[in-house]
């Protein structure tokens, strides 16, 4: 049952997809059952992944139920070898006196995610089935899909706003996109993170645009921000299609 606070944060195995090099990527998200309470769960006995070789890249900040998308989808990507077979990768979270685990695998076809293109899912004409392309620097190559791209570390100071921006390209689509939607979330880091806008609509001109926001940090430390670019908010997340992830590393000092 959903409450303002005191309810669990539960890890979720979203599914898997195969990469061009033959490896597989396991995709995880999480669900909060709290309307107001967000939790910091540092890496360690309350937030770990087994086998340990895959531990360390998971989120440590777990936000309350989001007003638009309800929960963060497909935020953690773990790549496993081509011969992974019937092995499991298990993510465990312990909070509010309980332990919750979810096993990731590549053995069940029903968990296969179409990424980064799902042309069969036009969602009644409101989505093309193609993830947008993003990059953080004009000199970088465009990246598409859940495996996404990573940038940083950027530098910031406690209490001073840092502007972050993402270049977006509509890519190959079945119809012209007038805009793209960006969603920013605090992924990991010790303090509180405040975005002046955590949802940004990006107007696309000839298929391209730039989305900007500013972010402020309450404490020094190493942080990771996650941005997700998706063509349409309302109809796409629940079908695991079609968006692109980007992670921004930030080092914050006094």
Q: What is the mean pLDDT of the chain?
A: 90
Q: Which two tokens stand for residue 80?
A: 């496993």
CATH topology of domain 133-253: Immunoglobulin-like (2.60.40)
What mean pLDDT is predicted for residues 94-116? 94
> What residue ranges do the domains of the chain occupy?
9-111, 133-253
What mean pLDDT is predicted for residues 50-78? 90
When mean pLDDT is compared over 120-129, 178-187, 242-251, the highest value belongs to 242-251
pLDDT at 69 over 80: no
| Cβ 80 vs Cβ 94: under 8 Å | no
CA 136 – CA 143 distance, rounded (Å) = 10
At residue 179, the pLDDT reads 79
Give 3 or 57, the one with higher predicted confidence: 57
Print burial letters for 63-72: b (CB count within 10 Å at least 16), e (below 16). Answer: bbbeeebebb
| Cβ 76 vs Cβ 57: under 8 Å | yes
In this structure, the number of other CB atoms found within 10 A of the CB of residue 2 comes to 9
pLDDT at 66 over 80: no
């Amino acid at each position: 049952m959903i409450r303002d606070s005191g309810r669990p944060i539960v890890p979720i195995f979203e599914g898997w997809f195969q990469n061009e090099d033959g490896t597989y990527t396991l995709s995880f998200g999480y669900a909060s059952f709290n309307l107001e309470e967000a939790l910091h769960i540092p890496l360690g006995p309350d937030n770990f992944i087994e086998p340990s070789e895959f531990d360390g890249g998971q989120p440590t900040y777990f936000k309350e139920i989001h007003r638009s998308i309800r929960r963060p989808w497909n935020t953690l990507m773990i790549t496993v070898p081509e011969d992974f077979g019937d092995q499991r990768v298990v993510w465990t979270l312990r909070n509010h006196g309980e332990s919750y685990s979810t096993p990731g695998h590549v053995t069940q076809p029903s968990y296969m995610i179409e990424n980064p293109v799902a042309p069969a899912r036009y969602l009644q004409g409101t989505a093309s089935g193609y993830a947008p392309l993003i990059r953080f620097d004009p000199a970088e190559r465009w990246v598409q899909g859940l495996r996404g791209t990573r940038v940083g570390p950027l530098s910031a100071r406690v209490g001073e706003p840092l502007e972050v921006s993402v270049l977006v390209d509509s890519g190959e689509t079945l119809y012209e996109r007038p805009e793209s939607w960006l969603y920013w979330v605090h992924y990991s880091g010790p303090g509180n993170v405040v975005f002046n806008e955590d949802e940004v609509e990006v107007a696309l001109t000839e298929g391209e645009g730039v989305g900007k926001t500013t972010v402020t940090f309450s404490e020094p430390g190493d942080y990771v921000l996650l941005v997700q670019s998706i063509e349409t908010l309302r109809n796409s997340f629940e079908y695991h299609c079609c968006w692109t992830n980007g992670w921004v590393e930030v080092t914050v000092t006094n």
